[in-house]
Amino acid sequence: MRCRIALLLIFAAACSAQEKPQADPVPRMEQIIQSYLADHAFMGSVLVARGGKTLLDKGYGFANLEWQVPNTSTTKFRLGSITKQFTAASILLLEERGKLKTDDLVKKHIPDAPAAWDKVTIFHLLTHTSGIPSFTSFPDYHSREWETMTPQQLVDWFRDKPLEFEPGTKWNYSNSGYVLLGYLIEKISGQSYAEFVQQNIFTPLGMKDSGYDSNAAIIEHRAAGYSRGKNGPENADFINMSIPLSAGALYSTTEDLLRWEQGLFGGKLLSPASLAKMTTPFKEDYAFGLGVSTRNGRKMIAHDGGIEGFNTSLAYYPDDKLVVAVLANLNGPAAGDIAASLSRVAHGEKVVLTSERKETALPQQTLAKYVGSYELAPTLTLSITVEDGRLIAQANQQPRRTLFAESETMFFRKDANVQIEFVKNDKGEVTGLVLHQGGQEIKGVKK
């Protein structure tokens, strides 16, 4: 149920530079994907389409390793937080039908809501600005994710927790907020969340291979989920699919997600006014279930997802109607990394793979200048140290990563397509760094 926001996938993507558009971008796209397969970092399905033309639509690796069943373009994957855009669209459909307003207070529809929610609106839930803490961050989350829970029980799990901030004043990703939206959809529509999405989105858009995932049901062509272990892929941990609900419980295929993007942005589902609301960011480049930002000068509307055994990425570039969907049944950053790289190749930009980078040796005194702490965000610090003649980077309590020099100021990782560029002032003093990730640049100030 993790989101697209770059800081949640630190060190997860490639750096790019401009070049002339390729006559046929597909061979380079295949080369990029194959590099992740060779590193045993990816299994899944990939689709790239521009306008009405599909450029790439294939499966890679296995949907089931034990039976060696290959992934295909119609393999079904858990979406994780890509689910949130379907939840947001469902809320807007109810608004169009006069059942609610996005600026309604939650208390209007849940009269017994706790006093702490008195100022929380549906808009706040949609934009992750409610202040309601995410239940997936609770200490007891992993010990309870095997339980079967009703929507009411899920809401009861977090309803009495204090808010993290005054509603509307800050942004913090909250799966609780999106579960609460699903609870509202059920309460207002009189249908289950699964029924509402099926009848009002999937069926009208012809998405026959999409639905609400289940631990019990037999779902044809569903991929098994895996995580990366010390000796290779392992079966992913169990999660009861009643837990993620409207925050992350849907499944789909890359081809159905293309139908979704074409339907959503083609005016087949929402009115122009509703679509405008859904794609207008409020804080931290986040709109309604979608991140809306600029990547290398192009508008991008996207969201990533992560759930046990699966990582996903779906991006839409409205200027040229480019859709990039990557669904992986092996946990790790590859889905988002591949999606970012394929987008750049489709736009005629250069993508440099880790295997194509050249390492250079730097003297110890040069490396020593980079040692220190760099603040990437109020709650995220990247520490740089030197060990055995190499720079070591560690973001908060995340694993330590070795950096290799490509030039005096540019460093890269060999186990992920990531670059860190150190910044100096006029006096030659190191004042900060830039983390190149997923086509974005995240600046860090040296403390």
> pLDDT band at 418, cuts 50/70/90?
confident
300 and 390 fall within a common domain: no
- Give me 399's structure tokens: 């694993």
Give the count of alpha carbons within 13 A of 417, CB side only.
29
Position 12 pLDDT exceeds 60: no
Task: Give CA–CA dist 409/237, Å, rounded.
Answer: 40
Higher-confidence residue of 66 and 1: namely 66
201, 281: one domain: yes
For the chain, the average pLDDT equals 93
Domain-ending residue, one of 351, 382, 404 = 351
Can you name the residues that pair with 424 across neighbouring β-strands?
430
In a domain, 172, yes or no: no
Helix (H, G, I), strand (E, B) or coil at 385: strand
Are 333 and 209 part of one and the same domain?
Answer: yes
For residue 438, name the pLDDT band (cuts at 50, 70, 90).
low
Tokens of 428: 């030659």
Identify the residue whose tokens are 């045993």. 40
3-state DSSP call for residue 64?
strand
Residues 328 and 442 in one domain: no
**What confidence tens digit (pLDDT) does each residue in 245-303 have?**
999 999 999 999 999 999 999 999 999 999 999 999 999 999 999 999 998 889 999 99
pLDDT of residue 416: 78
Are residues 188 and 44 located together in one domain of the fold?
Answer: yes
Q: Phi, psi (5° rounding) for residue 11?
A: 65, 40
| The last residue of a domain, from among 295, 324, 351 | 351
Q: Which amino acid is at 63?
A: A
Beta carbons within 8 Å of 229's beta carbon, 6+ residues apart: none
Closest CA to 313 of 284, 342, 289, 335: 335
Rounded to whole angstroms, the Cα distance separating 348 from 191 reads 46
Structure tokens, 351: 């993508």
Q: Residue 250 in 3-state DSSP?
A: strand
Instruction: Out of 82-86, 279-283, 374-378, pick the least confident.
Output: 374-378
Closest residue by Cα to residue 197 from 258, 260, 146: 260
Model pLDDT for residues 236-247, shown as the tens digit of each residue? 999 999 999 999
Structure tokens at 207: 């998405």
Q: Is 249 exposed, middle or buried (0-12, 13-18, 19+ CB in 10 A)?
A: buried
- 329 phi, psi to nearest 5 deg: -105, 35
Same domain, 374 and 411: yes
* pLDDT(141) > 50: yes
- Is it the case that residue 21 has pLDDT exceeding 50? no
Residues 6+ apart with CB under 8 A from 246: 83, 84, 87, 90, 178, 179, 181, 182, 183, 185, 193
Distance of CA 30 to the CA centre of its chain: 22
Task: Yes or no: say if 257 and 189 are a contact pair by the CB < 8 Å rule.
Answer: no
DSSP 8-state class, residue 117? G
Q: How many domains does the chain have?
A: 2
Q: Would you say residue 146 has pLDDT above 50?
A: yes
Q: Within this chain, do residues 217 and 285 fall inside the same structural domain, yes or no?
A: yes
Cα torsion 331, 333, 338, 344 to 10°: value is 160
Q: Which domain holds residue 39?
A: 6-86+178-351
CATH code: domain of residue 66: 3.40.710.10
Query: Does a structural domain hold residue 385?
Result: yes
Write down which residue in 323, 351, 379 finishes a domain: 351
Q: Are residues 241 and 346 in the same domain?
A: yes
